Structure 1
Amino acid sequence: MNTKQLQYFLATAEQGSITAAARELDVAQPAISLQLANLEHELKIKLFERDFRGVELTEAGRCFEEHARIILTQINAAKADLMGSKKDCKGKVVVGLSQSCCNVLSIELLTELEHRFANVELSFRIGPSMAVEQWFNDEEVDIALSFNPAGINATQRSIPLIRENLYLYISHHPKNPAYSELALYGSIHFRDLQHYDIFMPVEQDAMYRLLTEQAQKSGIKLKPKNAFGQLMTTLHYVTQGFGLAVLPSSGAFHLETSNQIRAINIVQPALQRDVYLQMIEKKSQDVAVISVFELIREVTASMHNQQFWRGSLLDKKYARPSRMQLETLAAG
């Protein structure tokens, strides 16, 4: 679902015909028809009844119309917040974040920034969680995504961003016989992780602490396998069938969508961790830093909506109704 589809949908609903909507928007009629068909296919909902006189909203379409207007209003408000200071928005902004957060945010963040704020130079400083926390406390970065609010200076601005789900990742074709049984698993109890070698980061990292603390609570001992420092190198070993890794979807969604890797749900208990977005207090009046801060919030909501960053979205400012929510509402 994208803004163009929502705009075409609302124009067609208001005009009562695709032809009239095409004239109103100065867009070719086939383009509108195609986008509406794609929208109905994605939602699995029939939005319009069509006849020789034009189109009329179905009951589901009328329900969706209300949400479409809310979504576009939120998007436009977000753009207005950012674009209002566009003329003065220039400078360099440094963001500290983990490899997994960078993986899910970087491309869309850079694309949107180039489109909206061409005079802002964005630089990523990527490292393990303890390094990101140190950079932020030493004010070597302007913005940070952290997993440990206690490790952040209390005077800095901080908001909970997302509570991300953690999964056990495995190749579709594991070459290690010890992993072959996992190829059929949809979920695994946390206690059962003790039977497998799992790639884990250094002991000071937030992920290592989370896993070992939960292992202590569960009365088990994990068998850590040293990761390679670079997430992509570790994931390469996993996709090739030579290892397992516990990661959030943010770190591996691109490999999931290309069917190179598979996520197994961890249950009893499910594993989650909170991601916090921080801004250096003295940068709170810097237009470029504020714009990037807000854009990270918006892009996070977008990636969550697309299920690339799975979990509970804690920051609701740019939240959009999911397809499941819309289908439930349309069903009554």
Structure 2
Amino acid sequence: MNLKRLQYFVKIVDIGNLTQAADILHVAQPALSQQLATLESEVRQQLLVRTPRGVTPTEAGMVLYRHAQLILRQCDQARVDMRAAGQGISGAVSVGLAPGTAAAGLAMPLLVATRSRHPGVVLYLNETYGTTLSELVMNGRMDLAVLYGGGQSVHGLTFQPLLRESLYLVGPSSIPALSDPVPLERIGEMDLFLPRPYNVVRKVVDAACAGIGLVPRVVAEIESASTLASVIAAGMGVTILPGSMAKQVVESTSAWHARIVDPAIEVPLALCQSDHLPLSEPAAAIRQILLELVRELPGNLLSSKDDGILKRA
């Protein structure tokens, strides 16, 4: 397949309109239609369906669209790597850092280290939820992500265990502070604000509660870290957070926190990357910096001899 035709095809799908795509690509519409027809002939599949509102990809078209994005991205990176050969590492690297986790604390040290060691590398940092980050890595739209999870095998992804964080009960000053550590059974008497059930923290909390026959009294489900902090500051109830985020909430509001025991609950933090797409040279360099930063954190799971070899979850 011709790379130029793949570029045209991706742009047509992105825009959803042949005429507009032709304008953006500075190609006459008949010529663009001919390129599309040639591509469909090469793959022996209909790729687009024409409608009064524009064009939409067929199932085969969506498959090619996903592959074409990866192919074009790798070609772009190959050009960058070749231009940079012998001139130091340069290029763009995208890193996802799950908010409300120890990963968020890596942002500034990562930026500082990258600027110092590899000034030619442009970092794109994305702080969003783990499920979204893992999908971006799986689709080849993000190089690396540090997120909670990795305990289960996920097709298309590989995880490097980094550390485990204990979970804490966090409450406002208007509610008497409980003993530290606090038995898990004590949360049964409190109004809880927790993330949705698909969230890793919520999953381990639900599993631990089920293990002791406890049904937590969840009064609202909140994903936003800032909103959870506001809930605690307003004295509306309590929440359960990883140690790193619990510390931030306590420092920014009048609150208390206590580590949960009987049983103790922990969540795993892992470095996620594709199991089939090779890292570019800049991305490999950033990955190495990330591992070095994690080694400095207490309780990390990386040995001094760990060279960062990925392990399947």
TM-score by length of 1: 0.59
- The answer for the alignment partner of 2:196 in structure 1 is 202
Q: Once the 2 structures are TM-superposed, how far is the Cα of residue 299 of structure 1 from its aligned partner?
A: 1.9
| Equivalent residue letter for 1:209 | K
Structure 1, unaligned runs of 5 or more: 1-84, 306-311, 320-332
Whole-Å separation in 2 of the counterparts to 1:221 and 1:165 = 21
With over 3 angstroms needed to count, the CA separation of the structure-2 counterparts of 1:150 and 1:186, relative to structure 1, is closer
- The answer for the alignment partner of 1:148 in structure 2 is 149
Whole-Å separation in 1 of the counterparts to 2:218 and 2:238 = 10
Q: Residues 112-136 of structure 1, C-alpha deviation per residue, up to 9 Å, x if partnerless?
A: 2222222222222232332223222
- The answer for the alignment partner of 1:237 in structure 2 is 231
Aligned residue pairs: how many?
221
Report whether the alignment pairs 1:298 with 2:296: no
Whole-Å separation in 2 of the counterparts to 1:246 and 1:228 = 11
Whole-Å separation in 2 of the counterparts to 1:89 and 1:219 = 54
- The answer for the alignment partner of 1:93 in structure 2 is 93
Q: Once the 2 structures are TM-superposed, how far is the Cα of residue 89 of structure 1 from its aligned partner?
A: 1.8
Whole-Å separation in 2 of the counterparts to 1:285 and 1:127 = 21
- The answer for the alignment partner of 2:164 in structure 1 is 163
Q: What SS is found at the alignment partner of 1:124?
A: strand
Q: Residues 47-103 of structure 1, C-alpha deviation per residue, up to 9 Å, x if partnerless?
A: xxxxxxxxxxxxxxxxxxxxxxxxxxxxxxxxxxxxxx9953221111223212343
Is the 8 Å Cα contact of residues 139 and 280 (structure 1) preserved in structure 2? yes
Whole-Å separation in 2 of the counterparts to 1:223 and 1:162 = 29
- The answer for the alignment partner of 2:301 in structure 1 is 314
Aligned equivalent of 1:250, options 241, 244, 249: 244
- The answer for the alignment partner of 1:128 in structure 2 is 129
- The answer for the alignment partner of 2:205 in structure 1 is 211
Hey, which of these two has a bigger chunk of helix by percent? 1
- The answer for the alignment partner of 1:308 in structure 2 is none
Q: Once the 2 structures are TM-superposed, how far is the Cα of residue 156 of structure 1 from its aligned partner?
A: 4.2
Whole-Å separation in 2 of the counterparts to 1:126 and 1:242 = 27
| Equivalent residue letter for 2:217 | K
Whole-Å separation in 2 of the counterparts to 1:103 and 1:232 = 14
Whole-Å separation in 2 of the counterparts to 1:169 and 1:301 = 27
Whole-Å separation in 1 of the counterparts to 2:269 and 2:100 = 11
Q: What SS is found at the alignment partner of 1:166?
A: strand
Whole-Å separation in 2 of the counterparts to 1:92 and 1:152 = 28
Q: Once the 2 structures are TM-superposed, how far is the Cα of residue 197 of structure 1 from its aligned partner?
A: 1.3
- The answer for the alignment partner of 1:226 in structure 2 is 220
Whole-Å separation in 2 of the counterparts to 1:123 and 1:318 = 29
- The answer for the alignment partner of 2:256 in structure 1 is 262
| Equivalent residue letter for 1:299 | L
TM-score by length of 2: 0.62
Whole-Å separation in 1 of the counterparts to 2:292 and 2:254 = 28
Q: Once the 2 structures are TM-superposed, how far is the Cα of residue 257 of structure 1 from its aligned partner?
A: 5.1
Is the 8 Å Cα contact of residues 140 and 277 (structure 2) preserved in structure 1? no
Q: Residues 14-48 of structure 1, C-alpha deviation per residue, up to 9 Å, x if partnerless?
A: xxxxxxxxxxxxxxxxxxxxxxxxxxxxxxxxxxx
- Within 5 Å, which residues of 2 pair with 1:176-191? 179-180=175-176, 183-191=177-185
Is the 8 Å Cα contact of residues 162 and 268 (structure 2) preserved in structure 1? yes
- The answer for the alignment partner of 2:66 in structure 1 is none
- Within 5 Å, which residues of 2 pair with 1:14-163? 87-101=87-101, 102-149=103-150, 153-154=154-155, 156-163=157-164
Q: What SS is found at the alignment partner of 1:208?
A: helix
Q: Residues 206-228 of structure 1, C-alpha deviation per residue, up to 9 Å, x if partnerless?
A: 11211111111110100113244
Is the 8 Å Cα contact of residues 97 and 125 (structure 2) preserved in structure 1? yes
Is the 8 Å Cα contact of residues 283 and 289 (structure 1) preserved in structure 2? no
Indicate the larger mover: 223-232 or 156-165: 223-232
Q: What SS is found at the alignment partner of 1:94?
A: strand
Is the 8 Å Cα contact of residues 188 and 266 (structure 1) preserved in structure 2? yes
- Kindly name which structure, 1 or 2, has the bigger radius of gyration based on alpha carbons: 2
| Equivalent residue letter for 1:89 | I
Is the 8 Å Cα contact of residues 96 and 125 (structure 1) preserved in structure 2? yes
Q: What SS is found at the alignment partner of 1:104?
A: helix
Whole-Å separation in 1 of the counterparts to 2:144 and 2:89 = 16
Is the 8 Å Cα contact of residues 170 and 245 (structure 1) preserved in structure 2? yes
With over 3 angstroms needed to count, the CA separation of the structure-2 counterparts of 1:252 and 1:288, relative to structure 1, is farther
